[in-house]
């Protein structure tokens, strides 16, 4: 009788443990918002790093009830780049400083692994491609000592060389506590150029990198 009781108790504990594991591996939807710094990797002194932000959602899908997961997402982003020593192409006198302001949609596709920690903490690391769809990119110049600021320029116009679509490779580290709240750091490195201009013998390609700190909430 005592042996039967032990067997039933151990079976119940095992079933409960498996059930708890299955519950902890259920897919879930989450949202995040982040401050982001955009860094041009090769700009010949023309462009400088500047701040922006992004916000969006993701869907976390465990792979075969394991700690591995696939996490697609969609984000809206607003990035800026600083400008120095710009000579406008409309005949305006002098050199200008200013900024490039870029708004678009980002689609990250991450594959990651989560580590269960004591105290209802979870640490996850993920990596994968990011696709940027650039909707608006304009150049704004500040007034100088010679003349007022020229009008904003659409950098998708002919001859400006800025791209509507670009690819990056991303890396993300996130700490989740109380199952719902998270803080993270992520970044991306440009695979394809954000802009390219110049002739065939002197082609200049600009790729962007980014670093962001985020806060998030998981709907579980």
In this predicted structure, the answer to whether residue 90 has a pLDDT above a threshold of 60 is no
> Which is nearest to 215 in space by CA: 29, 35, 69, 52?
35
Average pLDDT over residues 169-192: 96
191 has pLDDT over 50: yes
Q: Degrees (nearest 5) of the Cα angle 13, 16, 22?
A: 140
The domain spans of the chain are 26-219
The pLDDT of 21-28, averaged and rounded, is 69
pLDDT bucket at 87, cuts 50 / 70 / 90: low
User: How high is the mean pLDDT of the chain?
Assistant: 84
Question: pLDDT by residue (tens digit) across 115-174?
Answer: 999 999 999 999 999 999 999 999 898 876 566 777 888 998 866 788 999 999 999 999
Q: Residue 8 above 90 pLDDT?
A: no
Q: CB burial class (10 A; 0-12, 13-18, 19+) of residue 194?
A: buried
DSSP assignment string, 142-159: ---SSSPPPPPEETTSTT
Q: How far apart are the C-alpha atoms of 116 and 65, rounded to whole Å?
A: 14
Please enumerate in sequence order all residues whose Cβ is within 8 A of that of 212, keeping only pairs 6 or more positions apart, or say none: 34, 35, 36, 37, 54, 185, 186, 187
Answer yes or no: CATH 3.30.70.2190 is held by domain 26-219.
no
% pLDDT > 70, the chain: 80
C-alpha span between 185 and 173 (Å, rounded): 5
Which pair of tokens denotes residue 80? 């800026």
Whether pLDDT at 5 is above 90 = no
**For the segment 44-85, what is each residue's pLDDT rounded down to a tens digit?**
677 889 999 999 999 999 998 889 999 999 999 999 999 887
> What's the rounded Cα separation, in Å, for the pair 158 and 82?
22
Question: Residue 44: what pLDDT?
Answer: 65
């Amino acid at each position: 009788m005592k042996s039967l009781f032990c067997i039933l108790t151990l079976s119940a504990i095992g079933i409960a443990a498996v059930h708890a594991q299955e519950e902890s591996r259920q897919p879930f939807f989450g949202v995040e918002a982040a401050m982001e710094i955009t860094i041009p990797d090769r700009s010949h002194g023309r462009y400088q790093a500047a701040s922006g932000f992004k916000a969006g959602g993701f869907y976390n899908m465990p792979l075969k009830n394991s700690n591995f997961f696939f996490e697609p997402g969609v984000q809206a982003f607003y990035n800026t780049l600083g400008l120095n020593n710009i000579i406008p192409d409309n005949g305006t006198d002098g050199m200008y400083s200013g900024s490039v302001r870029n708004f678009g949609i980002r689609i990250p596709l991450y594959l990651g692994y989560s580590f269960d920690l004591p105290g209802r903490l979870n640490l996850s690391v993920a990596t994968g491609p990011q696709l940027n769809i650039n909707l608006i990119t304009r150049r704004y110049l500040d007034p100088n000592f010679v003349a007022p600021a020229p009008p904003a320029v659409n950098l998708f116009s002919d001859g400006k060389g800025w791209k509507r679509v670009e690819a990056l490779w991303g890396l993300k580290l996130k700490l989740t506590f109380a199952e719902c709240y998270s803080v993270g750091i992520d970044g991306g490195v440009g695979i394809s150029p954000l802009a390219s201009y110049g002739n065939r013998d002197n082609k200049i390609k600009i790729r962007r990198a980014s670093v962001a700190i985020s806060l998030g909430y998981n709907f579980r």
